């Protein structure tokens, strides 16, 4: 059995930086185990047409090395999946990480031995590794949600999930295609597939408020400016609750005079992107203010869509703006004006089953050659709980998280010594620009391990009390936010049948969260117990 100081699971943004940090700063012997045949994580699997990041390229990138930042040139305001995949390969090669990654290796079991203070890792290839530390870098949106529709094996067409898209691009041209799902992914894939398909039928359960991305090619001047602004952007992201490079608004929408308010919305709409939700300070906590944003978006959608029935379906919202993760788009609404695109309301006419050449709803039949599921993920806990993780005293993670995840800071789990979670449940994670949350976690974990080595500690474990307190804190942080009113949202586990309905990420802001994590570290990792073998 091969022994390592640390095993990292996953070779996306988190795993790559964690490997680099532990190897270069602490001189540890580290191995990444990765299911895919190359690096990329979420950007390896989500290679569907139109896949692109909603965060701007100048911010959706590593900031731990200025050299790494300056030596890479993004070509568009929002990076495409192929470009991010290339970027992560560039990082991997530049930092010489590949030699410490084992690809096509899926971790199936993690078992802790308290006497030896060691983890054993088992894989699908029947390999066995031992290590002192395990660091989960499995990503938050890595376990695809595939709804169960009866008679799937009868269907003679092709089925794809956007989160597990084949490397060899499927032939979609001139086919009858269906897409289920109109979240951030559906909103990206629908306009691209519409251009290829003979006919595209979109099966919508819930409409989403989408704001234009306003993407553009970056000029050399813009690229140079991003390099000049490196430290300024880093500082802005550091201060922002979501880790984005802009400042928070301090103006209330409802307290702003209507003409001025509309002018500010128009400006934000024209600018495009995720900053629209920061136009005013109270959109996520005040119903009247929130209504001004939803009404503004509804008016915009109705102006774009030619068919009033389609417009009604696309604006039949059951949740306030921003309570689900707001998507941004390129020609999403315009796509529904195309002659080859139909929108079907499956809340009114639910899908019943597959048939040989399509699907059947309660009232209709749809002939399809291809069906694409853009149905999202079992977020934040799905991948973790699909491994068999056994901690101290034979405790299984699946059992103790039956009623919802319990962590200290989203980083540590009681009874699971020396297991660290990057962007785990209970951390700001998916509510942020992910690379900022990832860098903060990688550095906190790396510094914690450094502290352990310095003090000759061989294990760290959070107390149950500290994890209980933090879990309460996570619920407290979201109690005034509209996030709780979108009952089917994946933030709440509402998209997965049987999943506990509990708000999973920490909504108090990455800036505040970072301060809390720093304070815990400065106080000798308050809430954690260390052991030392003498
Ligand atoms: O997934 P979603 P996503 N029958 O869960 C529908 C990130 N992301 O992949 O709303 C019928 O948001 C579901 O309907 P409803 C981003 O954080 C980032 O789109 O539950 N329909 C919904 O319409 C994002 O939030 C980027 O009623 C079913 C859709 O499928 C996260 O990924 C790009 C169904 C799922 O929407 C997830 O987005 C894309 C069923 N049984 C995504 N089950 C970038 O920044 C689900 N649906 C690049």
The pLDDT tens digits of the residues spanning 301-354 come to 999 999 999 999 999 999 999 999 999 999 999 999 999 999 999 999 999 999
- What are the φ and ψ backbone dihedral angles of 214, each rounded to 5 degrees? 55, 60
Considering only CA atoms, which of 424, 354, 370, 375 is closest in space to residue 144? 375
Domain termination residue (choose one: 282, 297, 319)? 319
Domain that includes residue 86, residue range: 2-143+378-531
The predicted structure's pLDDT at residue 533: 77
Which tens digits make up the pLDDT trace of 394-419?
999 999 999 999 999 999 999 999 99
- Our answer on whether the CB atom of 147 is closer than 6 Å to any ligand 1 atom is yes
Measured in Å, residue 299 CA sits from the centre of ligand 1 at 23
Asked if residues 367 and 227 have their Cβ atoms less than 8 Å apart, the reply is no
Q: Is 462 in the pocket of ligand 1 (CB under 6 A)?
A: no
Judgement on whether residues 414 and 518 belong to the same structural domain of the protein: yes
Q: Is there an atom of ligand 1 within 6 Å of 289 CB?
A: no
DSSP H helices, 386-531, are 397-400, 434-454, 464-478, 510-522
pLDDT given for residue 1 in this prediction: 77
pTM: 0.97
Residue 534, pLDDT > 70, answer: no
Q: Tokens representing 191? A: 């306009």
Query: The CATH number of the domain where 332 resides is what?
Result: 3.50.50.60
Nearest atom in ligand 1 to the alpha carbon of residue 51 is: 48
Q: Do 128 and 260 have their domain in common?
A: no
Residue 427 alpha carbon to ligand 1 centre in Å? 21
Average pLDDT, the chain: 97
Residues 372 and 309: their CA atoms lie apart, in Å, by: 24
pLDDT tens sequence across 312-325: 999 999 999 999 99
Distance 383 CA to ligand 1 centre (A): 17
Which residue's C-alpha comes closest to atom 12 of ligand 1?
A: 183
Measured in whole angstroms, how far is the alpha carbon of residue 313 from the centre of its chain?
27
Closest residue to atom 15 of ligand 1, CA basis: 206
Q: Are 252 and 398 contained in the same domain?
A: no
Whose C-alpha lies nearest to ligand 1, atom 35?
375
296 and 204 in a single domain? The answer is no
Q: Whose CA is nearest to atom 48 of ligand 1?
A: 53
Whether 141 lines ligand 1, by a CB cut-off of 6 Å, is: yes
Say if residue 273 is in the same domain as residue 157: no
Q: Which two tokens stand for residue 273?
A: 């992107």
Both 511 and 456 in one domain: the answer is: yes
Q: Are residues 67 and 37 in the same domain?
A: yes
For residue 447, give the 3-state DSSP assignment: helix
What residue owns the CA closest to ligand 1's atom 6?
A: 181
Rounded Cα–Cα distance for residues 3 and 351 (Å) = 50
CA distance 20 to 64: 11
Q: How many domains does the chain have?
A: 3
């Amino acid at each position: 059995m091969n022994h390592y100081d640390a095993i990292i699971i996953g070779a996306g943004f988190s795993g790559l930086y964690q490997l680099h940090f532990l190897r270069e700063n602490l001189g540890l012997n580290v191995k990444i185990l990765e299911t895919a045949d190359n690096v990329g994580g979420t950007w390896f699997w989500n290679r569907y047409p139109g896949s692109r990041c909603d965060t701007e390229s100048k911010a959706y990138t590593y900031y731990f090395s200025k050299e790494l930042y300056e030596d890479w040139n993004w070509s568009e305001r929002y990076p495409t999946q192929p470009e991010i995949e290339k970027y992560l390969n560039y990082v991997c090669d530049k930092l010489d990480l590949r030699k410490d990654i084992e690809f096509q290796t899926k971790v199936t079991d993690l078992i802790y031995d308290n006497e030896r203070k060691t983890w054993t890792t088992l894989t699908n290839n029947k390999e066995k590794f031992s290590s002192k530390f395990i660091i989960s870098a499995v990503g938050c949106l890595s376990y695809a949600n595939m709804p169960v529709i009866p008679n799937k094996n009868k269907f003679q067409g092709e089925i794809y999930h956007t989160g597990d898209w084949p490397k060899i691009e499927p032939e979609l041209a001139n086919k009858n295609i269906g897409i289920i799902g109109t979240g951030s992914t559906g909103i990206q894939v629908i306009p691209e597939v519409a251009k290829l398909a003979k006919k595209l039928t979109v099966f919508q359960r819930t409409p989403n408020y989408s704001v234009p991305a306003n993407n553009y090619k970056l000029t050399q001047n813009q690229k140079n400016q991003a390099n000049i602004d490196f430290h300024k952007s880093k500082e802005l992201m550091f201060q922002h609750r979501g880790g984005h490079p802009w400042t928070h608004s301090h103006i209330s929408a409802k307290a702003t005079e209507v003409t001025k308010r509309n002018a500010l919305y128009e400006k934000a709409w024209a600018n495009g992107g995720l900053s629209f939700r920061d136009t005013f300070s109270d959109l996520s906590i005040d119903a009247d203010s929130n209504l001004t944003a939803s009404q503004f978006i509804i008016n915009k959608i109705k102006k774009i869509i030619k068919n009033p029935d389609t417009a009604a379906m696309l604006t039949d919202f059951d949740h306030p703006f921003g309570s689900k993760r707001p998507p941004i788009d390129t020609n999403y609404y315009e796509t529904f004006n195309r002659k080859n695109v139909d929108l079907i309301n499956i809340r009114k006419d639910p899908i019943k089953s597959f048939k040989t050449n399509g699907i059947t709803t309660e009232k209709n039949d749809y002939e399809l050659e291809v069906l694409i599921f853009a149905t999202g993920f079992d977020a934040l806990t799905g991948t973790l709980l699909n491994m068999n993780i056994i901690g101290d005293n034979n405790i299984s993670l699946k059992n103790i998280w039956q009623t919802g995840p319990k962590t200290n800071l989203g980083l540590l789990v009681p009874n699971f010594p020396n297991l660290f979670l990057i962007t785990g449940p209970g951390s700001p994670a998916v509510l942020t620009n992910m690379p900022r949350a990832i860098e903060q976690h990688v550095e906190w974990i790396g510094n914690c391990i450094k502290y352990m080595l310095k003090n000759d500690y061989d294990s760290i474990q959070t107390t149950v009390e500290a994890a209980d307190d933090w879990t309460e804190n996570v619920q407290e942080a979201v109690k005034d936010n509209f996030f709780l009113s979108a009952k089917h949202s994946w933030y709440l586990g509402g998209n997965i049948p049987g999943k506990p309905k509990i708000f999973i990420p920490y909504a108090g802001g990455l800036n505040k969260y970072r301060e809390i994590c720093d304070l815990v570290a400065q106080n000798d990792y308050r809430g954690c117990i260390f052991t030392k073998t003498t």
